[in-house]
Copies of this chain bind each other. A is one copy, B any other.
């Protein structure tokens, strides 16, 4: 029964935030004359001692203490005596737990933002080296148009930057301090909530004590932000798995992040990207869990809300390690430039360019150009060549093209085709470098 009710075995994760919050609260109480400066000093020193004990592994977590807050308060009182009891003046378990949790989410948001930046930097670095490396641009997993590999990686840099922006936005939206809301209705003590907020790095106190005690929007937001970011990681992981298959052969995952089979010496498994892809499931589940918990709860605090933490801890830990790992995988990735370029010669990737040429240069209506292109595709197939490898004589075998200008051959060249897509955000070498520059500047400024 104690085991069922108690949260101390998982919410001890909040010890740092709990101590930080209590020190700030005691300082404010002393400034307001609610406790004496001597008591405040004792409390602060006591709490720092408890912190040391926890970090040295000397602290004994007991299920009877029920939660991290009581565990620390009981130990504090054991160390400093009566003064410890005064710490809980003008606050309740409800606003204390909300504050600790909010601090945790904010702290972790900053950590995640930094890790996202490191990942983006890594992608930008690799992209910089591959703005001229051709790879088949795909839709529907079918070869579509030639793009450069730097351009491909920058798509992910854009996703992770959006994630960064979302974390930044939720951080600033939720940077408000629950402390001082007390159980549900505020307190008769003459506290200064703006001071506590300031001491803890929040922008201001929350506005409604009643709302505060059961508000978990900030927890939902971090769960959602993590879900979206892990979804992006799952997409990159999927591509790494595909690319490292025999069939694609575009990359080799460094031995450190691939696993050898214990019975097949020739086999390397992309375990790491597979696990990353799989971990998307758990963070989706955590989001769904808390949404379910919060549905239909009357005001104000209900014990259901105790179920808010484990999922957040788990999603945060998953996000942190996943970002570290995917960054390391990318950083050590062996890129098989030749295989990528070779693959571009399959699928007549310059077919669109041929049609465009016919429309623009030869003034042929698009519908007709489309059918001529189809003929050229068939011709290429019959010659066992990719369209990009045709010469002018071969092209001219097509009736409608028998008088065609020689420069058509240039348009069919894969690298020319890639560089032709030169609109803002396009794959041309120029535009990819422009995109990379924008990211480099952003990285410098953030």
Contacts and interface: CB of A to CB of B under 8 A. Distances in A.
Contacts of A306: 275, 278
Contacts of A242: 141, 242, 247, 298
A159 B181 CA distance: 16
Interface stretch (A49-57, A280-288, A402-410): A280-288
Given A291-B284, A303-B274, A180 B425 contact: yes
A280 to B, nearest CB: 5
B366 A85 contact: yes
A196 B391 CA distance: 39
Interface stretch (A36-44, A99-107, A108-116, A208-216): A208-216
Contact of A257 (B1, B282, B286, B321): B1
Given A158-B207, A184-B144, A298-B239, A269 B347 contact: no
A217 B139 contact: no
Interface in A230-260: 231, 234-235, 237-239, 241-242, 245-248, 256-257, 259
A247 B286 CA distance: 34
B343 A246 contact: yes
Given A1-B256, A289-B282, A307 B275 contact: yes
Given A227-B291, A271-B5, A185 B94 contact: no
A351 interface: yes
Most chain B Cβ neighbours within 10 Å, of A166, A224, A237: A224
- Classify the secondary structure of A's interface with B: helix
A60 interface: no
B420 A188 contact: yes
A232 B429 CA distance: 42
A397 interface: no
Given A238-B297, A265-B373, 5 more contacts: A140-B303, A188-B356, A208-B435, A242-B242, A281-B288
A63 to B, nearest CB: 14
Interface in A400-426: 418, 420-426
A296 B237 contact: yes
Contact of A424 (B90, B194, B211, B227): B194
Contact of A425 (B141, B190, B209, B298): B209
Given A275-B307, A278-B293, A284-B292, A141 B421 contact: no
A427 B265 contact: no
A193 interface: yes
Contacts of A256: 1
A417 to B, nearest CB: 9
A92 interface: yes
A220 interface: yes
Interface string A165-185: 110010001000000111111
Nearest to A166: B173
A300 interface: yes
A136 to B, nearest CB: 8
Contact of A265 (B93, B205, B377, B422): B377
Contacts of A355: 263, 265
Interface in A147-170: 147, 151-152, 154-159, 162, 165-166, 169
Contacts of A181: 425
B352 A184 contact: no
